[in-house]
Structure 1
Amino acid sequence: MPHSPEDKRRAVMRLRRIKGQVQALERAVEEGTDCSLLLQQIAALRGAANGLMAEVLDSHLRELFGTQKEDTPHAAVDPDVEIEALMKILRTYLK
Structure 2
Amino acid sequence: MTQRDKEKQKLIARIKRIRGQVDSIERLLTADDDCADILMLLANIRGGINGLMAEVLEDHIRHHLGEGSPELTAELSEDLIDLVRAYLK
TM-score range, shorter chain: 0.7 to 0.9
AA of the residue aligned to 2:42: I
- TM-score, normalised to structure 2, is 0.80
Q: Which runs of 4+ in 1 moved over 3 A?
A: none
Q: What is aligned with 2:80?
A: 86
Q: List gaps (5 residues or longer) in structure 1.
A: none
Structure 2 residues not aligned, in runs of 5+: none
User: For the Cα contact (< 8 Å) 2:66–2:73, is it kept in 1?
Assistant: no
Q: Does 1:63 align with 2:57?
A: no
Q: TM-score, normalised by structure 1?
A: 0.76
Q: Do 1:7 and 1:59's aligned partners in 2 also have CA atoms closer than 8 Å?
A: no
**AA of the residue aligned to 1:60:** H
Partners of 2:37 and 2:86 lie apart in 1 by 24
Alignment of 1:3-22 (within 5 A): 4-22=4-22
Percent of paired sites with the same residue: 37
- State the Cα distance separating 1:68 from its structure 2 match: 4.5
1:52 maps to: 52
Distance 1:25 1:88 in 2: 32
